[in-house]
Structure 1
């Protein structure tokens, strides 16, 4: 049965959804995502931390504020799952649409191959295992940003609105916003087009300032805005060579995340080299065909971007690259955002998908086998390159059920004042109900008050310091038996003890505190006396809140305009028939 071209979009959408469901698998069952950096909770709150107005870097802005707002009416765990599902589905569908935009003669088969390459690769697997679900929103927006950029170059109606919607979705995290800005500039700044390059570039920057305004405003207004990142983080978070591959080979295969524990099992053996070779065979087969299309400036620009996206993190992991990286984070505030260098290899993925589709098209023309043969073969080879991405990355993505004590403590703290300190110290936990992988402490997102954390990360070979100076002082008091008066002076009104996890702790600091709740999982203590309030100013909260509203409204307005335009097009076509 032949699928008509007008149905290609429907098939590509269904296929991408099927792949997404196969990848996420068990995570879509009842429960919450709690794996390494990923934390979802039934409800979260618009604290200063959620708005990025503490002395820690605003890394989870605006995602935390968005979830806090939406989780007042919808379970927060469902919100996170829906956003992750949408991110991966849009990544696959966007890759198919990108092929249609840049390779107009491509049939359904090459489009589906592009979707497969965009979804079924080590980058997606490793970021899921690291818990970077919101970063994948930026990843999923990349092909759509390129498509919108092509429309802007051609002065197509609604193209700027499409670009605004795509950049808003990418802007769920600071990294996603920067990924979106980079690929948007590459698409619109290429020579040619029906409008001036300066006008296009200016428009992209204007949209970026709006869609990235939540974390830009938070960074400028937060108490830790002037603090730099720990230079030790540059080496700790550099791209990593996987078995049988150098750093460059790992990155070329869209792998090489810094955390060796956050990789699928197949990437911990020499099969990593085999899988990378299989993926690159599919991708590189289309390079000659795309070379013949080099007169299309967008194709050329995407190819150059892919090359830079692979080479730059590889150079950053060399000795001299690490020296440059340490210098930059030491002297430039905000440069710490660049230290997880492997995440930028996402910029190569759209070209990889396009090249894989071009390779299938070349094989269909060159050989006399039935046309679907090459598409099926490319899909099979891509999946074989990473077989354990299926079903929650080999079952690692499993929903977690919180003990009821978390909800009881959250209710106890509603309407109260003072910040919360936590024991054991540190940001990561190993609860009995979360499996083998470490998980980020859910307290900052579960509780309605700000939770003080230093931001220090324990990594192989040492630790990477955070930005929280007041939190570090509080932690020192808790570990040395400091008095309740000292805790209150630092703004601590409550101390939460998480019993079901190892870590550094000292009961001496709890002796003069009032225990208000206790069970097998949690103990909550209240600090007596007058607690000094450490809060962001009202003006800072208003400015950051307005930035969040601008971000949301830009995305919503863009989607509404695009929907109305599509409806007008359908009505016009109906009138013609």
Structure 2
């Protein structure tokens, strides 16, 4: 094949991993391509949401959904909120797979076949399945940012050194890419911690300070909200440690489940295949494919003068990813032991903000980039061993076949990840009454909701309990206790006023008492089970505003807003923090795109 033919083939080969990643993302989230809204466990998307204090993270509860709620509240008046959420989820899945391929290409110099193996490892695994079933769509943006964060850290390390095209592109674009990764991952606080910990380990000592400054700017919304609302200074309920500890899977134990990228605390958020011996087979195959490539991934640091800075930086970044992977598996496993849980309980009870660490299985995401690299390196090593000969101008004979076998071994044992994890991930359609209720809320006061609790089982939402959509559907703050029923126990939340309001309703207290607590509206969701107590006594004292078979809305006479004197100042600070986050996201991605290095011929 002549030079021009090779150039054309290489040009098209660059698009294969991107296309394959898009195909897998579509196969996984296929049901969401249709009309409707994502409503599954913790995932709540709505046609329109509102920029309330809770959306800014200034409510009673800890700011766990900041800045995602404010972003949706800002964009949903322009673009349907359900479409925004589905788009972000699909793009995140695509970016996770394609990022793994680009990382493998740049750090290992592998051909297309091993890159496709890296895509498969990044997308077709129990972590993605379990977090989809749990409804953690925004956490998956942090997951997707991990390979791109590693790539940006590597390019920052080589900076202006080296002779290749990436080095000649300079450090500006790499810093912009890192900023964009931090902001995209920072859609949730956990995502920011994932990307930030990766960067600190990989970026090199002289660049750590710059990375921390960018991370702080990208984390501004939830840091500001935690400080302003006071929720960040309240210790979390230690009961949550045992409730959210990583869970053992059949024949694997806790360590084996985590090493296989599984082990989520909620046994109901697990694909059916992971409750059978297939869990052992899938984990064994994944770890075997990873083990084949560990040695090649770790590599040797060449100290010879002829070795370039680029080569040494690649080895250091690969080794850093391996260390992150080991920590991401071992530490959550230790956290699930009796003494590990005791230590974590002390931590969350005495250290503000430590509640972010209670769901330790979330951090298994940090193992994904290393697993993808090892599987890609293993594919290349196996192909090299069995190839009859190697050509300098084309991929090794047998690489395509080896990659196909690797992909099949990864996909088949977790077959039910396809099509919305066996159809569980499907769009729903809200009754029209929700919009009518939202239109009628035009006065003072926050909103209390009945039945008590935060989770619902509507006829249109499926068999599993889902988060109440009211806080995102309605234009005033909806009071929620933050209490979570987990594994037969209740983990206390931070909503002190919400608990008092709920108790007032369930005990049938006076409407005057509701008004004193700053409640102006009461919404009754009629088609979901839950405690109602003696609330009829209180509702009889309220003004009926709207009623249909699904919903009933009441106005509390004489209600006043429950507003602190400093609330206006707090909102301005929160707005500024969100604007800074948006600037880091958009500006970082623009700088990265403009400064993208172009390879020379």
Given the two structures, how large is their TM-score scaled by the length of structure 1? 0.95
- In 2, the alpha carbon distance for the partners of 1:208 and 1:291 equals 28
> Does the CA contact (< 8 Å) of 2:523 and 2:552 recur in 1?
yes
The C-alpha deviation readout for 1:278-324, integer Å capped at 9, x for no partner, is 22122221113224346611111111110010000000000000001
Determine the structure 2 residue equivalent to 1:167. Answer: 182
- In 1, the alpha carbon distance for the partners of 2:400 and 2:467 equals 45
Determine the structure 2 residue equivalent to 1:192. Answer: none
Determine the structure 2 residue equivalent to 1:53. Answer: 58
Shift, 1:118, TM fit: 0.3
Determine the structure 2 residue equivalent to 1:525. Answer: 554
> Does the CA contact (< 8 Å) of 2:145 and 2:184 recur in 1?
yes
Shift, 1:523, TM fit: 0.4
SS of the counterpart of 2:245? coil
- In 1, the alpha carbon distance for the partners of 2:505 and 2:279 equals 44
> Does the CA contact (< 8 Å) of 2:42 and 2:467 recur in 1?
yes
Shift, 1:347, TM fit: 0.2
> Does the CA contact (< 8 Å) of 2:176 and 2:590 recur in 1?
no
Matches within 5 A, 1:148-159: 148-155=152-159, 156=167, 157=170, 158-159=173-174
Aligned residues: 561
Determine the structure 2 residue equivalent to 1:182. Answer: 197
Determine the structure 2 residue equivalent to 1:388. Answer: 416
The C-alpha deviation readout for 1:368-420, integer Å capped at 9, x for no partner, is 2622111000111110131100000000001000000001001111x422100
The C-alpha deviation readout for 1:460-500, integer Å capped at 9, x for no partner, is 23110000000000011011001111000000000000001
> Does the CA contact (< 8 Å) of 1:55 and 1:225 recur in 2?
no
Determine the structure 2 residue equivalent to 1:433. Answer: 460
- In 2, the alpha carbon distance for the partners of 1:346 and 1:116 equals 15
Determine the structure 1 residue equivalent to 2:440. Answer: 412
SS of the counterpart of 1:289? helix
Q: 2:273 aligns with which of 266, 277, 299?
A: 266
Confirm whether residue 542 of structure 1 aligns to residue 554 of structure 2. Answer: no
Determine the structure 2 residue equivalent to 1:553. Answer: 583
Confirm whether residue 281 of structure 1 aligns to residue 311 of structure 2. Answer: no
- In 1, the alpha carbon distance for the partners of 2:277 and 2:403 equals 27
Q: 1:224 aligns with which of 231, 234, 246?
A: 231
- In 1, the alpha carbon distance for the partners of 2:436 and 2:386 equals 66
> Does the CA contact (< 8 Å) of 2:147 and 2:369 recur in 1?
yes
Determine the structure 1 residue equivalent to 2:84. Answer: 79
Matches within 5 A, 1:329-344: 329-344=348-363
> Does the CA contact (< 8 Å) of 2:446 and 2:561 recur in 1?
no
- In 2, the alpha carbon distance for the partners of 1:292 and 1:160 equals 26
Shift, 1:563, TM fit: 2.6
- In 1, the alpha carbon distance for the partners of 2:211 and 2:10 equals 32
Confirm whether residue 306 of structure 1 aligns to residue 313 of structure 2. Answer: no
Shift, 1:64, TM fit: 0.3
Shift, 1:569, TM fit: 4.1
Shift, 1:70, TM fit: 0.6
Gaps of 5+ in 2: 160-166, 303-314, 388-396
- In 1, the alpha carbon distance for the partners of 2:175 and 2:505 equals 53
Q: 2:377 aligns with which of 334, 351, 358?
A: 358
The C-alpha deviation readout for 1:145-193, integer Å capped at 9, x for no partner, is 000000100114211111111111111100000001000111113xxxx
Shift, 1:532, TM fit: 4.1
Determine the structure 2 residue equivalent to 1:101. Answer: 106
- In 1, the alpha carbon distance for the partners of 2:458 and 2:281 equals 36
> Does the CA contact (< 8 Å) of 1:276 and 1:385 recur in 2?
no
The C-alpha deviation readout for 1:424-478, integer Å capped at 9, x for no partner, is 0100000001111110000001101000010001122311000000000001101
Shift, 1:223, TM fit: 3.6
- In 2, the alpha carbon distance for the partners of 1:116 and 1:129 equals 19
The C-alpha deviation readout for 1:45-100, integer Å capped at 9, x for no partner, is 11000000011100000000001101010000000001101111000000000001
Determine the structure 2 residue equivalent to 1:193. Answer: none
Runs of 4+ in 1 over 4 A off after TM superposition: none
> Does the CA contact (< 8 Å) of 1:293 and 1:299 recur in 2?
no
The C-alpha deviation readout for 1:509-540, integer Å capped at 9, x for no partner, is 21101111111100001000142423561111
Gaps of 5+ in 1: 190-196
- In 2, the alpha carbon distance for the partners of 1:558 and 1:459 equals 39
SS of the counterpart of 2:232? coil
Determine the structure 1 residue equivalent to 2:511. Answer: 484
Confirm whether residue 67 of structure 1 aligns to residue 72 of structure 2. Answer: yes
Question: How much is the aligned-residue C-alpha RMSD, in angstroms?
Answer: 1.5
Matches within 5 A, 1:239-254: 239-254=246-261
- In 1, the alpha carbon distance for the partners of 2:82 and 2:150 equals 31
- In 1, the alpha carbon distance for the partners of 2:450 and 2:367 equals 42
Determine the structure 1 residue equivalent to 2:390. Answer: none
> Does the CA contact (< 8 Å) of 2:518 and 2:561 recur in 1?
yes
> Does the CA contact (< 8 Å) of 2:63 and 2:231 recur in 1?
no
SS of the counterpart of 1:73? coil
